[in-house]
A and B are shown apart, each in its own frame.
Chain A
Amino acid sequence: MQLRYYIVRRLLLFIPVLFGLSIITFTVSHIVPGDPVGLAAGPGATPQEIEQLQHDYGTDKPLPEQYLTYMSNLLHGDMGRSMTSRHKVLDDLASFFPATLELVLVSMVLAIAVGIPLGMVSAVYRDRWPDQFSRIFALSSISFPRFWLAIVLQLIFAMTLGWMPVGGRFDVRQTLPRTVTGLLLVDSLLAGSLTDFLTAAKHIIMPAICQSLTVIAFTTRLLRSDVLETLQKDFVRMARSSGIPERVILFKYVLKNSMIATISTLGFLFGFALGGTVLIESVFDWPGIGLYALKSAVTLDFQPIMGITLFVGLLFSIVNLATDVVYGMVDPRIRYG
């Protein structure tokens, strides 16, 4: 009951957050120097054509009025159109976001599957070779530039060995499975096609690995220090004195106590990555929201910029809320209030 009130209150708090975000983004994207309409009209446009376009997009009106128009359209479900592609922003988001979501989800699963065991191992074998190995692994995956690593992976596994495709989300010669969730891995399974699934998996694995490395590094180091601290706690000695096997102590009693910082970091990195993984997306030609945001930003295409910012802001808030709720499930002492 208490939890339900907490969630409702946090959801209501989204309104002022997104409102503030919209004002800041709108102002910034309109006061930066540049002429988006001129860019959209093209180099050969006549002054009359540009004026007509300005009228069409409402950019000849005062800024506050433009903002109010945008917001009232937004509340009616209309996010506007891109000036360069003339696509509806809503449709663009619907087609680009699932690609990013799929990439981020797969990379998070990888990061958790590798990072948590690695963190536990390096705590248990503190300062011995598994710990040194994980330390070097974590340090190098943070310090190597991600785009460089991506290119190296492409050179080895795509160009030389030919095991993986260089980039893209799916084989252009194959027809895409019917869109249900927008996640190709899920859609191909729903359509019952294992070949499609394998094609999608082959395309996603290298970008996902690149994306997961940083997360693995953070998870491993954080979890290691928290596990080391928890291992010193009296209740661990108490569990040992009851004859509870070391394996159970580690993976049940210690792990749950050590997860707090890791969960909040994972939640933050997850929300952050949903905003787009521009470097990875551009190296692997992954049609995600990061590339879309980049293209919109360089042309000062403000309707997509607004749409992306608000959408990602909303997602980030939701992920944060989810993280806080998971917190409470792990640690019963946390009170929602």
Chain B
Amino acid sequence: MLSSLLPSEGPLVKIRDLRLNFNTFDGVSKVLAGVNLTVEKGDVLGLVGETGCGKTMTALSIPRLIPCPPGEIVGGEILFEGEDVLAKSEDEMRELRASRIAMIFQDPTTNLNPVFTIEEQMIDAILCRMGEQSALGLTPFSRWQGSVREKRTEARHKAVEMLKRVGISQVEDRIGSYPHEFSGGMRQRVLIAMAMAGQPHLLIADEPTTALDVSIQAQILRLVKELVDEFHLSVLLITHNLGVVAKICNKVAVMYAGRVVETGTIREIFKAPKHPYTVGLLNAIPTRASRRGELQGIPGSIPNLLSPPAGCRFHPRCAHAMPQCAADPAPGMIPLTRTHQVVCHLFD
């Protein structure tokens, strides 16, 4: 009630105790086991953790893009601008995705449709973001209607403008190309242009630079940062690259095996990490100070989510594990400062 009266108040995204299972042939995989995450307006939040810890699944659950089945949300709540995402109908979700959420993904090669031109794909996406999906023109005949043609021309202008904005040269010559005729970096720019064509409130970037060359990575990151400033976007950036986080984020959430174990500002997490896993993660970054030939890892390996350890899921690998760490229920969120929270019995 309050949130609908005061829409500008409250966080942009609030995920509370989100539980997601994947029903596989081998049994039920508890991929997310009570994720708590908040993205405030204006935040650039980095979501970090090892591969398979549920970063992408957490992010995909906000626009409800998790494939169900095999996925199944079994508990928790997701609020986007105060609205309950899980209670929305498919059509309301489609509209929410079109109008307020932009997503860019890891691999620009597989995220563009190989059998349609860039122009065709961009026009379709932009029409949806403009709320004009009736002008999509599924049959060739509908393209003869004046109103459809007009809308498509308008969307094409927007596409050209966006492609120029993301730094693609000779747009008019290239817009009719197929994705395979573009380089990886250019494809990622196209995807960014497609995502940003509306006025999104949240950008979800799922490892946007992982599949790119190092030199292109920096360019794409710079572009994302520019666009974030220009459009006053809030961002959820998924990465396992802590260097990227330090460069463009203002907050960090660390995930481990389906739970957020620590959140805080960049300063708090990098200068004074509290959770033993965060400490281990930061120590694992090789720096110039670390001795040659010496790489520090975290002993053990990530748990099997089909039968995760009871209590804190990190306790089998934790040097500070205490008896209560192995017992259910798992530790709760402990606020250390207004922004810094940790999930660990050490701070009870």
Contact = CB atoms under 8 A, between A and B. Distances in A.
A240 B195 CA distance: 11
Interface in B176-196: 178, 180, 191, 194-195
B113 A235 contact: yes
Given A235-B110, A252-B138, A242 B178 contact: no
B115 A332 contact: yes
B105 A234 contact: yes
Interface stretch (B27-35, B122-130, B158-166, B252-260): B122-130
A139 interface: no
Interface stretch (B12-20, B81-89, B92-100): B92-100
B287 to A, nearest CB: 34
A235 B112 contact: yes
A242 B65 contact: no
A238 B102 CA distance: 10
Max chain A Cβ within 10 angstroms of own Cβ: one of B63, B110, B124: B124
A245 B113 contact: no
A12 to B, nearest CB: 29
A221 to B, nearest CB: 22
B194 A257 contact: no
A242 B129 contact: yes
A234 B116 CA distance: 15
B266 interface: no
Given A247-B138, A251-B138, A332-B180, A241 B113 contact: no
Contact of A243 (B97, B115, B191): B97
Contact of B98 (A243, A253, A330): A243
Contacts of A241: 63, 65, 97, 101-103, 195
B75 interface: no
Interface in A316-337: 330-333
A248 B138 CA distance: 6
A244 B136 contact: yes
B114 interface: yes
Contacts of B40: none
Contacts of A234: 105, 107, 110-111
Given A234-B105, A240-B65, A331-B115, A246 B90 contact: yes
A247 B95 CA distance: 14
Nearest to B101: A241
B23 interface: no
B265 interface: no
- Determine the interface band of chain B, counting residues with CB < 8 A from chain A: 20 to 34
B180 A333 contact: yes
B133 to A, nearest CB: 6
A256 B115 CA distance: 7
A256 to B, nearest CB: 5
Nearest to B125: A242
A245 B133 CA distance: 8
A235 B103 CA distance: 12
Contact of A238 (B101, B115, B138, B191): B191
Contacts of B95: 243
A235 B133 contact: no
B57 to A, nearest CB: 13
A243 B128 contact: yes
Interface in A252-268: 252-253, 256-257
Nearest to A237: B65
Contacts of A331: 114-115
B133 A243 contact: yes
Given A235-B110, A257-B115, A245 B129 contact: no
Interface of B: 63, 65, 67, 90, 94-99, 101-103, 105, 107, 110-116, 124-125, 128-129, 133, 136, 138, 178, 180, 191, 194-195
Given A234-B107, A331-B115, A332-B115, 20 more contacts: A232-B67, A237-B111, A238-B111, A238-B191, A239-B124, A241-B97, A241-B103, A242-B97, A243-B94, A243-B95, A243-B99, A243-B133, A244-B133, A245-B128, A248-B136, A248-B138, A253-B116, A333-B114, A333-B178, A333-B180
15 contacts: A235-B114, A238-B103, A238-B105, A238-B111, A239-B113, A239-B124, A241-B65, A242-B129, A243-B125, A244-B125, A245-B133, A252-B136, A257-B113, A332-B115, A333-B114
